Amino acid sequence: MSLVELTEKIIKNIVLNEDAVSVKEFPSDNDKDIIIEVLVSEDDLGRVIGKNGRCANAIRTLVQASSYIKDNKYVKINIDKF
């Protein structure tokens, strides 16, 4: 499972509107970095970020751990609304 698929699976299990989830990977300037852009509906943004960003940080930690096992690249996840 790729990092984008893993991120999408985690996000879709958190939100109420699964159809409004978009997860894409973008190229970075550095070959050792991966940028993942997550877009969710405005109603679900609070769920994904969580209080004090705890949920978002947990998602980043899980995806980063998976990256260290496979590619050993730094993952940056940006979460935004449509």
Q: What's the rounded Cα separation, in Å, for the pair 74 and 43?
A: 29
**Looking at residue 44, what is its pLDDT?**
96
* Structural domain containing residue 53: 3-81
Q: What's the rounded Cα separation, in Å, for the pair 77 and 60?
A: 7
Tokens matching residue 74: 């730094």
CB 38 within 8 A of CB 22: yes
Q: What is the full per-residue pLDDT of the chain (82 aa) written as tens digits?
A: 899 999 999 999 999 999 999 999 998 888 889 999 999 999 999 999 999 999 999 999 999 999 999 888 999 999 999 8
Strand order in the sheet with 74-81: 22-26, 33-40, 74-81
Q: How many domains does the chain have?
A: 1
* CATH of residue 11: 3.30.300.20
